[in-house]
A = this chain, B = another copy of it.
Amino acid sequence: MKPQVLRGMRDILPERMRVRQYAMGILRDTFESFGFQPLETPAMEYAETLTGKYGEEADRLLYQFEDRGGRRVGLRYDLTVPLCRVVASYAELPRPFKRYQIAPVWRAERPQKGRYREFWQCDVDTVGSASMLADAELLGVATQALRHLGFVDFRIKLNSRKLLVALAEYAGVPPDQAVGVYRAIDKLEKVGVEAVRSELLEEGLSGQAADRLLELVQMHAPEAADLLAQVEKQLAAYPLGVEGARELGEVMGYAEALGIRPGECQVDLSMVRGLEYYTGPILEAVVERPRIGSIIGGGRYDHLVGLLGGQDEPATGLSFGLERIIDVLEELHMAPAEVCRPLTQVLVTVFSPGSASESLGLAQELRAAGIRTEVYLGADRLGAQLRYASRKGIPFVIIQGPDELAAGQLTVRDMAGDGQQRMSRDAAALWLRERLANASG
C-alpha cells in the first residue's frame, strides 16, 4: 500500500504555506504591538488535565492513549487549558500575564469541508486582571488584527454570560434547563423569532416566559449605552444582570478610544458562545463582506485556572479561527501580491559542468544583495533549465555562456516580458533589485 496522509489531516504544500506564514505574521505582530508575549506548550498533556474541561462531547473528540510509561496522555484539544495549566504552575510569571500562542490542536472530528482533525489555533489571553480594560483591550486586538488582515466590513457582537444567566432567571428557567434555552436563542439570527419560540416551548418554557425572553433579547437602541440602560432596568431584580449590563457598558465606553468605529461593535443579547466555562463578557467577530461568518470568538473565564489546580484567577481571551481566515485570504486573493508570487526571484543557469562554480558564486552575490536565488542543479540543456524556471514561475533567469564569462558579462532573461538583456556582472544585482522592487509595488 502506498503511504497516505491520515483521513482528516493535511499536508500544506509550499504555495499555501506562504499565505499561512503571512497571516500568522500579521497576527503575531498585532498581538505583540499590544504587549502580548509568545508561549509554547507541549502537544501532549496528561489526559486528566484535558478531560472534563470542555464537556462530554469534547471528551469524545480527544486523542487519548497510554504512553510507554503507563501514563494516560492526550493531544491538546485547544490552547486555553494548557495556558491555565501553565499559569497554575509558574508562580513567577508576572500578572497580568498576557500571552499569545499559535499552534496546532487535535480533535477526532468527523472530517468535512473546512474541518480537520489537526488544525492550528491562534489564541490571545490576559490572565490575572479582573478589569474590563482587559476585555476591552481584546476588542481592540480583534479589530486591529482584522484590519491588518484586510477585512473591511466586520461586526463584533458582544454579550455577557452574566446577562445570559440573568435572562434565564428572568424567564423563570431553572438553571439546569438554561443550556437548552441558550442554544435556542443563539439561533435567533439564523432561524427567526417563530422557530426560536417553538424551540423554547419544546424546552419546557411557558408561552409567556418565551415571549418575555424573546422581547428582551430583541431589544434594540441606536446607542449601546441606551440599550444597556434598558436591559439593566428590565433585569434590575437580578444582580448578575445588573453587573453584566454595567460591565458591557464599561467595555463599550472604551471602544472608540480603541479605534473601533461606530457600528463595528454591538451588544447582541442573543449571541451565545457554547463553552461552559465563560463567566463574563463574551464576544464574537463576524465578517460581513465577504460573508464568511464568525472568525473570532472569546470571552472571560474566571474559574478555569482554579479548575486546573491554581488559585482562581480572572482571565479573558480570544481565539482566532485561523484555518478559516487563511482559507478566505486564499479564496479572495487578499494576501499582498508579494506573498502569492513564487519565492525564488532569480534562477542562475549552469552552462556546462565546468562553469558550475561560476554560477554558484554569482548566486551567492545575488543572495548577499537580498535576492532569493536558485542555481539550476545540473548542466542540462538550456531549454530544460528555462522550462524549470517557467514551471516554477521564477521571473528572471541568468545565462552565462563562455563569451559572456570571458567579458565579465551575463544575460538576464525576463521570463514574463520574454526580452533579454546583456549587462556587466557587477551591474546585475542592482538591476535585478530595482526590477523586483517595481514588481512588488
Chain A residues within CB distance 8 Å of chain B: 1-7, 9-14, 17-18, 20-21, 32-35, 37-46, 48-49, 63, 65-69, 71, 73, 75, 85-86, 88-90, 93-94, 96, 98-99, 104, 106, 108, 118, 126, 129, 131, 133-134, 136-137, 140, 144, 253-254, 256-259, 308-310, 343-344, 350, 356-358, 360-361, 364, 367, 372-375, 377-378, 388, 391-392
Contacts of A44 in B (CB 8 A): 6, 9, 63, 106, 118
Which secondary structure dominates chain A's binding surface? Answer: mixed
If A2-B89, A68-B108, A350-B133 touch, whether A13 touches B39 (CB-CB below 8 Å) is: yes
8 more contacts with CB within 8 A, not counting A4-B46, A32-B343, A133-B375, are A11-B86, A13-B90, A17-B37, A20-B40, A42-B118, A129-B377, A129-B378, A133-B377
A435 to B39, CA, bound (A): 28
What CA separation (Å) do A211 and B44 show in the bound complex? 50
Min C-beta distance of A268 to chain B, whole Å? 23
- Cβ of A253: which chain B residues have Cβ within 8 Å of it? 357
Number of copies: 2
- When C-beta atoms are compared, the residue in chain B nearest to A380 turns out to be B131
Q: Are B11 and A356 in contact (CB under 8 A)?
A: no
In the complex, which residues of chain B have a beta carbon less than 8 angstroms from the beta carbon of A308?
3
* Nearest CB in chain B to that of A308: its residue: B3
CA distance A90 to B68 in the complex (A): 34
The answer to whether B343 touches A254 (Cβ under 8 A) is no
CB distance from A265 to the nearest CB of B (A): 14
CB-CB under 8 A from A106, the residues of chain B are 43-44
Is the CB–CB distance between B373 and A88 below 8 Å? no
Q: Is the CB of A372 within 8 A of B133?
A: no
How far does the Cβ of A73 sit from chain B's closest Cβ, in whole Å? 6
- Minimum C-beta distance from A122 to chain B (A): 15
Chain B residues with CB below 8 A from A17, complex form:
37-40
**Least Cβ distance of A370 to chain B in Å?**
8
Residue on B nearest A101 in the bound complex, by CB: B17
